[in-house]
Structure 1
Amino acid sequence: MEQKKFFELVQRNFNHKLNSSDDTGNSSRAGWDNEVQKQGYYILTKGNWFRHAHIAVNFHINIPIALAPHRHDFFEIVYVYQGEITNKIDGKLIEMHQGDICLLNANAIHQIGKMQEQTIVLNILIEKSLFENAFFYVLNGNELIFNFFANSLYKKNQEQNYMLFPLMMYQHTDALEMLQKIIAESFTKQSNYQTATELTIILLFLELTRAYRSYQERESARELNGPDISQIVQYIGEHYQDVTVESTAKQFNYHPNSLSRILKKYTGSTFSDIIQKFRINAAKDYLEHTTMSIDEIVSLVGYANKSYFYRIFREETGMSPAEFRKK
């Protein structure tokens, strides 16, 4: 959709939202207000958001319930279409500018500050079941997005419950086009728009993953003055059975401590986490495509302790190796 038509579509729906909105859902204010007073935030459940589709698009406006700290039982994309906002997430204040995207998981407690009159912010709400079904497998090859959702779905502890994509990071990709298509489909509701939004959001995540990976490579190559971070991760993946942080550091002429710091900075994962990801993925592949015993697979992928492998495998997949093989 050309930008002029998209702007007119957003503006028309935004004005309609402003004109039709009452103050806050005053009839239910006592409920969420009490939650905020007791625990510092209220829980926004999926309610009627997903009656007709697994994805819903909504405007963020200056009403008390929208400005109060809260978390959801679904995922959310905050997109600043016009203007700028502050977004306080888990106590950390984030400044977002026009074009910025913030992806929030179901554990994030956040609060958007009161907006200027001309500011337009859209929220794309995504039901959990979307990822527990088809999306979970489609995104498996894209570690950045996949890990973010998988950790939230299985309620793992995360250092950060959000991912921020500034416009400058993704502006040379098709991500903005995908994002605006989701919004336009949700507003116009043409035939099969539900399917269109679900397919398009996969493309959006793929574009954001590519953009982030490219950013990682540029920034890490500049800091390392040599190989970028993807080359180091690739080396780990090629030698995952017996590689160590010491052998990897020696290969790329770094001190092990420096290498560990660089990996954490640019991938968000420790050396051990990266190794574990490669080993578990290899184990899953052997379970799906061979008849080897689980004991053989444990040894082949580099684990010396079978009990430890079973624990890690269940944490990563939500099931035992035997259950995974049968599914």
Structure 2
Amino acid sequence: MADKVNVSLRNQSFYIDYSRGYENSRDMQHYHLHQDYEIFYLLEGEKIFLIDGEKYVAKKDTMMLINKNILHKTIVNDHNYQRIVLNFRDCFLLEADQILLSTLFNNGPHLLSVKNPTIFQTILEKMLEEYFLDHSHSDRYLQLLLSQLLMECERLIRSQTSIEHATANRHQHALINDMITYINERFHQDITLSILADTFFLHEQSISKLFKQSIGCSFTEYLNAVRITEAKRLLTETKMKINQITRKVGYTNHVHFWRIFKKFTGMSPNNYRQQETTKCKRFTNKA
């Protein structure tokens, strides 16, 4: 069971990043999930993935494909690693590429051995250039590059057996996706397991089991993770009073909110805001 879950509500429909070495590590210390598909390419070194309670070891020239709304984290197993990670949403894909998603992500995660690294690295390097240099028509070009990358991934999957393959029930994954979307859109309201059961015509026990099996945490843990993620954003980006934030993110009891917030962050909302404000001032002074 994940003791802490970070939920990304990032608005970008496409994101790509390159990182190398332990000093620049952006590994997730806690379990994490997001509404994006993820492709992780390890150029050098070794990393450990923990996905839905399963362990996967990625080595040089291996690629991990992770579906959206899947609980996962990474651990550095070699401080000299280099990696490229990209995330994208359905809305960024060309319509013709939608059919590839089922093969690439529904029966995953897939950890694949890349036999011809040059093909994949060339595409990814061009993606990085287009993403960060912001040339004219970059979005369109990135869509075409993503299309090429997905087709190469599909060929790779068909040409080999996944190094490690966790089977997943397609209907079950579609159902948990719908529930997660429902929660993400209504977390500020009074959402209970009973309400979710009535909405999706399921027994509460079935939903609890589905959450545990699919994302590794309970319904309540996930709901709290979404709410606390939004609370952290409001504490950092607004001057709203804490009791206002408490209600804004869906809590009716101020003391309960403080207890949950401290459980997730290790500090009170006041201390968190003070810490983030100090960081911001330091950054501004350096700039």
When normalised by structure 1's length, the TM-score is 0.43
Higher strand proportion (structure 1 or 2): 2
